[in-house]
Structure 1
Amino acid sequence: MMIPRMKRGIIAVALVLLGFVFPGVATAETPPGCASAAQIGSTGHVKWRGDTIASVKQFAGCGSNYSYVYVWESFRATGRHWITQTAIAVYSSSSDSTPDSYKGGNSNQFDPVELWGKPADTLSKCTAAYGMVSVQQDDNFIAYSTKRC
């Protein structure tokens, strides 16, 4: 079924406008060095004081899993400082709720907007992306993407 040209234009404008209505939504495409990677599983959300402050995603490609954290503009505008950490959480089975280990970890200080984890050789395992935002003079706030086996 072909969508008429005018409807395609309306849809394109609507998608652009959604970017203004929902600023701060992560727009990550691919991890550095792996253009073929794609997101797997659902995005996790780091919460602080009831607000979403970061997105946590897992990507697969180039023989590896990658974790990713994006800190939302709404949080960055608070003037707070933060440290971000990310990794691939590895589970021994689909029924486990606690990871056995973390692979491909990466951390960054000095208020990073986004942070990619290092490639993790975990495609044959049950995994989820882990993301942590440590808010200055507060606490550590953690989220996971959905687990993929």
Structure 2
Amino acid sequence: MKRGIIAVAFVLLGFVSPGVANAETAPGCASAGQIGSTAYIKWRGDRIASVKQYAGCGYNWAYVYVWESFRATGRYWGTQTAVGIYSSSTDKTPNDHKGGNSDQFAPVELWSKRTATTTQCTAAYGMVSVQQDDNFTAYTNVRC
């Protein structure tokens, strides 16, 4: 009983994490949900970030989350997101990018700006720029 009370006190005081992961919420649209599959950005053969596309409230967003395993390497990074626009579901490269957003100060997660593209074929785009290395990118699958 005492251990349970002490553990709850530590959680409430912020000394330990309760171990519950928070779901991503698109800025300005709590009802937006992920569409399509998750893509992964790789560096030196390892997955370092997840890329997801969300839709809701009449908009699309791209989302990038940089994994703890990469953050623990001590490397500095920047991140970029955008929604790629395609002519059809069979296109291999986007015609345009909308809602671009970037942060060069090592963000853990980054959302694109919202895009009014729910009537178009879209895919989320994410990029991680690794200091003294290169840019590493991924696209989710195209959704029409």
Equivalent residue for 2:4? none
Equivalent residue for 1:98? 93
- SS of the residue corresponding to residue 86 of structure 1 reads strand
TM-score scaled by length of structure 1: 0.81
Equivalent residue for 1:127? 122
**By how many angstroms is 1:27 displaced?**
5.4
Show the 5 A alignment for 1:6-21.
none
Tell me, in whole angstroms, the C-alpha distance in 2 between the residues paired with 1:147 and 1:75.
27
Equivalent residue for 1:80? 75
Tell me, in whole angstroms, the C-alpha distance in 1 between the residues paired with 2:49 and 2:75.
14
Confirm or deny that 1:67 pairs with 2:67: no
Confirm or deny that 1:117 pairs with 2:112: yes
Tell me, in whole angstroms, the C-alpha distance in 1 between the residues paired with 2:99 and 2:68.
26
Q: 1:36 to 1:74 in 2, by over 3 A?
A: same
Output the amino acid matched with 2:78.
I
Q: 1:140 to 1:71 in 2, by over 3 A?
A: same
Q: Which runs of 5+ in 1 are unaligned?
A: 1-19, 21-25
Show the 5 A alignment for 1:128-143.
128-143=123-138
Matched residues, number? 125
Tell me, in whole angstroms, the C-alpha distance in 1 between the residues paired with 2:141 and 2:89.
11
Tell me, in whole angstroms, the C-alpha distance in 2 between the residues paired with 1:128 and 1:95.
12
Offset from partner CA, 1:9-32 (integer Å, 9 cap, x none): xxxxxxxxxxx8xxxxx8542112
**By how many angstroms is 1:146 displaced?**
1.2
**By how many angstroms is 1:95 displaced?**
1.3
What RMSD, in angstroms, separates the aligned Cα atoms of the two structures? 1.3
Percent sequence identity is 72
Tell me, in whole angstroms, the C-alpha distance in 2 between the residues paired with 1:56 and 1:49.
17
Q: Which runs of 5+ in 2 are unaligned?
A: 1-18
- SS of the residue corresponding to residue 93 of structure 1 reads coil
Q: 1:146 to 1:28 in 2, by over 3 A?
A: farther
Tell me, in whole angstroms, the C-alpha distance in 2 between the residues paired with 1:124 and 1:61.
12
- SS of the residue corresponding to residue 113 of structure 2 reads coil
